[in-house]
Structure 1
Amino acid sequence: MTGRDTEPRQTPAEIQAEITREQRRLAETLDELSEQARPANIARRQIGRARERGARIVDEARALVVGGGAVRVESHLVAPEEGSIVIKGDDEVVTTYQSRRRLPPEALILAVGVGAVIAVGVVAWAVRRRG
């Protein structure tokens, strides 16, 4: 008697049920991928990334303006989102600063100005890409 004769065999109904489960799983995976690939969702993720980068630039500008009043708390690499396409040099370093004292009004005005310039740049970039 060979090993094949002793193995349990699936019935046609069990095979059909397994095929149906796999088809359902593949359909769900395709639905998830199509949801991620929608232009509106891609734009939403890109805007979120731009906001995060803008916040980092504002933090760095605040540290430069304040000078010795800001202390770097930590810096770390951020891994790209799962499923995203990474281009060489696209690693992102996030640095956190903490102010030792209240910021002077000039620093706040500079931070708002930098934020406005970044916002206008992102909007102009998005309009140019769409057009």
Structure 2
Amino acid sequence: MISRKRGDDIYIGGRPQKEIRKKQDADGNENLVEPDISVICGPEKIDEKGCHGAPDWVIEIVSPSSKSIDYGRKQALYLLSGVREYWIVDPIRESAVIYRAAEDWIPMFYRFGDSLKAGIYEDLEIVIE
């Protein structure tokens, strides 16, 4: 499902949506991921089929089966694909890790209940509980 906030050209998508793909590796394997939540800024990146190119902000919700992928492979792929901000929300650890391209992808660690500022939206703060 994709929703749109009119006037600001902000699109928020959950599954299903177009996947983020990385070029094939030396063995011919293509890496592809599908974010749990993505925020796309700008109408030129989206159509009825989904997002073309990298979303501006991606949020992954960790589950036991996705833990190593969310903290490893996806983080690297989002960095390389042009995502501006990547959040990993871990309900089991009750924590969140935030990576921002503008801050050299240095991880910032938070606990549930902390006020988290969205880097791509100056006035947006979120408390995860």
TM-score range, shorter chain: under 0.3
More strand per residue: 2
- Length-normalised TM-score, structure 1: 0.22
Higher helix share: 1
> Which structure exhibits the higher relative contact order, with contacts defined as CA atoms closer than 8 Å and separated by 6 or more residues?
1
Task: Say which one has the larger Rg.
Answer: 1
* TM superposition score normalised by structure 2: 0.22
